[in-house]
Structure 1
Amino acid sequence: MAYLSSLLLSGDTMNDPRNVVIHLHDGDLPDALDLGSVVAIDTETMGLNPHRDRLCLVQLSSGNGEAHLVQIKPTRLGGRGYDCPNLKKLLTDSSVTKLMHFARFDVAVLQHNLGITLTSVVCTKIAARLVYTFTDRHGLAYLCRELLGIELSKQQQSSDWGAVNLTEDQKRYAAADVLHLHALWGKLEAMLIREERRDLAQDCYNFLPTRAKLDLLGYDVSDIFAHRA
């Protein structure tokens, strides 16, 4: 599958001395693409309700300074819908670690829309909440600034991700959310090990696909683990 477009970002734009290349793919990952054994993943949707708001974009990075954006368009808009076998294969491959930030949402969105169960998920937000306990700020932008010295812009966070043609600013924003997850996880995992909470974090990660299923069933509001007399 050919790239729809490639966008070169300067190192100054990304607060990174390397150049960053963004590849936009139409509907699925290319057949021959190898993203390695650890892949950073994020999603963009029309809103925050997986039952109502469709999945529009899946961002991926192998940590090499390149980002791959898979644009998901419904057939009524000339797309393939959720016919993306290469993307589904990667997401369900237990030998590939998927790095996410606030994986609870992304896993629910991907499982609901693609009809799959994700495997081998790591969440940097869970890691931060386990070891960055001296603050209640655990957003991606905050952690990248504090731990990596990188400023992330959130200006496109609430833009129209369902548009047929994404703007260059949207592509930059989407790419930024995965380009630094490998480095961020390296910092947080070292803290988890130092504080003897790495195994606890892994138990949380293993539960994420089930937690997402509970959310989709409506148990995000009524927690089945809560006690009420």
Structure 2
Amino acid sequence: MLIKLHRGDLPADFTPGSSIAIDTETLGLKPARDKLCLVQISVGDGSAHLVQVDRTTYDAPRLKAVLVDPGVTKIFHYARFDVAVLKQYLGVDVGSIYCTKIASRLVRTYTDRHGLKDLVKELLGIELDKQQQSSDWGAHMLSEQQKKYAATDVIYLHELKSRLDQMLEREGRSALAKSCFEFLPTRAALDLSGWAEEDVFAHA
């Protein structure tokens, strides 16, 4: 696994291809309070680019350009959170989204375990180490363990998408998944606007 750490922005020679796997690390789980610290990207070749963003300016034009490119599919696991965080701190509306967690919920109805660790273990036969999940991502110098953890959050997403796409097709739920993915920017906007805990579609 090749891990490349970049400070501030993606390198000028970064080429995303038709799809990227993407994840974020923050100082907590409340986008309005907990700052974005790290953006991880993989193009599906087993390597990971870790962008340690400048938390004073969030000036990352090359990263932002990739995030808004409609020709690049962005593969997330739990896109709802990441899309909201990227909107809050980078000011971008991420489009062309695929969420492995939503896909899993639509086809793995035989289980209630839809975390990344569970998906990777069942579908790919790989055990992930999640020990660094709650570490300090605001540190100026990230540890080797943090870098490896951050990288493993994205390097398997392309393969997971491929497996889940097969299951979605098998169960006749590909179109439903696509509609869910297209709604995610609106769901993130609701979260940022104060409706995170409220179902606006509920009867009562």
The TM-score, its normalising length taken from structure 2, stands at: 0.99
Q: Which runs of 5+ in 2 are unaligned?
A: none
Q: Which residue of the other structure, out of 86, 90, 99, is the alignment partner of 1:110?
A: 86
1:26 aligns with 2:24: no
Post-superposition CA distance 1:144-175 (Å, at most 9, x none): 00000011100000000000000000000000
Partner of 1:6: none
The Cα of 1:199 is off from its aligned counterpart by 0.3
Query: Partners of 2:52 and 2:202 in 1: how far apart?
Result: 38
Query: Partners of 2:83 and 2:102 in 1: how far apart?
Result: 14
Partner of 2:180: 204
Partner of 1:224: 200
Query: Partners of 2:43 and 2:159 in 1: how far apart?
Result: 11
Structure whose alpha-carbon radius of gyration is higher: 1
Which one-letter code corresponds to 2:153 in the other structure? D
Query: Partners of 1:221 and 1:171 in 2: how far apart?
Result: 32
Partner of 1:66: 47
Alpha carbons 1:73, 1:164 under 8 Å: kept: no
Query: Partners of 1:172 and 1:192 in 2: how far apart?
Result: 30
Matching of residues 95-134 of structure 1 within 5 Å: 95-134=71-110
Partner of 2:138: 162
Identical aligned residues as a percent: 61
Name the SS of the counterpart of 2:51 in structure 1: strand
Q: Which residue of the other structure, out of 147, 169, 173, is the alignment partner of 1:171?
A: 147
Which one-letter code corresponds to 1:154 in the other structure? K
- After superposing on structure 2, the runs of 4+ consecutive aligned residues of structure 1 that deviate more than 4 Å are none
Query: Partners of 1:82 and 1:136 in 2: how far apart?
Result: 36
The TM-score, its normalising length taken from structure 1, stands at: 0.88
Partner of 1:53: 34
Query: Partners of 1:89 and 1:32 in 2: how far apart?
Result: 13
Name the SS of the counterpart of 2:4 in structure 1: strand
Alpha carbons 1:29, 1:70 under 8 Å: kept: yes
Alpha carbons 2:35, 2:55 under 8 Å: kept: no
Post-superposition CA distance 1:65-120 (Å, at most 9, x none): 11000001324xxxxx3100000000000000000000000000001111111110
Name the SS of the counterpart of 1:116 in structure 2: coil
Query: Partners of 1:40 and 1:183 in 2: how far apart?
Result: 10
Aligned residues: 204
Q: Which residue of the other structure, out of 139, 150, 156, is the alignment partner of 1:180?
A: 156
The Cα of 1:35 is off from its aligned counterpart by 2.0
Post-superposition CA distance 1:8-59 (Å, at most 9, x none): xxxxxxxxxxxx1100001100112102111000000000000000000000
Which one-letter code corresponds to 1:25 in the other structure? H
1:84 aligns with 2:60: yes
The Cα of 1:223 is off from its aligned counterpart by 1.6
Query: Partners of 1:91 and 1:150 in 2: how far apart?
Result: 28
Q: Which fold has the larger relative contact order, with Cα–Cα distance below 8 Å and residues 6 or more apart in sequence? A: 2
Q: Which residue of the other structure, out of 107, 119, 122, is the alignment partner of 1:146?
A: 122
